[in-house]
Amino acid sequence: MASQASLLLQKQLKDLCKNPVDGFSAGLVDETNIFEWSVTIIGPPDTLYEGGFFNAIMSFPSNYPNSPPSVKFTSEIWHPNVYPDGRVCISILHPPGEDPNGYELASERWTPVHTVESIVLSIISMLSSPNDESPANVEAAVSLIISYLQPTCLSYLFVS
């Protein structure tokens, strides 16, 4: 008998196949394992990632949707919210409830209403708007901050 998680994932896969979403594609890594998905994200326009294709693996726990999946890029990506090993660090992928570090509100963390589509759209949003206040990759965050400051500093020097 199929579990609630596998039935829900089968439905989400069917929905995505029937109604593809711009900006990404998703499917199973192995047709015999509904709990491991392959995702390809197209770099969003007007970002450093524009035109790129970024592959990731989304692994679902057996108690999905009560617990979040993990997402790990298999393509190299330099981003403040992606650990150097490729793991994605965004609030909606953190376990539900209160944040033990007090940084995130419970409402920002995982809730069972999220779907594969909403997760991937959140990752695309992360690519467009990095959170440099709580970086998973400090070097990428510093690099990003410096790249934003340089044009401002240069224009200040030329205007002064």
pLDDT of residue 2: 64
Taking residues 118-139, report their average pLDDT: 91
Q: What is the CATH number of the domain that holds 33?
A: 3.10.110.10
Asked if residues 127 and 47 have their Cβ atoms less than 8 Å apart, the reply is yes
pLDDT band (50, 70, 90) for residue 133: confident
| Active-site residue, 17 included | no
Question: With 60 as the cut, is the pLDDT of residue 150 above it?
Answer: no
Taking residues 108-127, report their average pLDDT: 96
Domain residues for the domain of 38 are: 4-159
pLDDT band (50, 70, 90) for residue 144: confident
Question: With 80 as the cut, is the pLDDT of residue 156 above it?
Answer: no
Q: Considering the candidates 9, 41, 89, 140, report the single residue annotated as catalytic.
A: 89
pLDDT of residue 65: 96
**What is the three-class DSSP state of 87?**
strand
Task: Tell me the C-alpha distance between 54 and 128, whole Å.
Answer: 14
**Per-residue model confidence as pLDDT tens digits over 53-91:** 999 999 999 999 999 999 999 999 999 999 999 999 999
Task: Tell me the C-alpha distance between 87 and 110, whole Å.
Answer: 16
Question: With 90 as the cut, is the pLDDT of residue 16 above it?
Answer: yes
pLDDT of residue 148: 64
pLDDT of residue 149: 63
Question: With 80 as the cut, is the pLDDT of residue 146 above it?
Answer: no
Average pLDDT taken over every residue of the chain: 90
- Report the predicted TM-score, pTM, of the whole model to 2 decimal places: 0.87
Residue with the larger pLDDT of the pair 154 and 32: 32
User: How many domains is the chain built from?
Assistant: 1
Closest C-alpha among 29, 48, 96, 47 to residue 68: 96
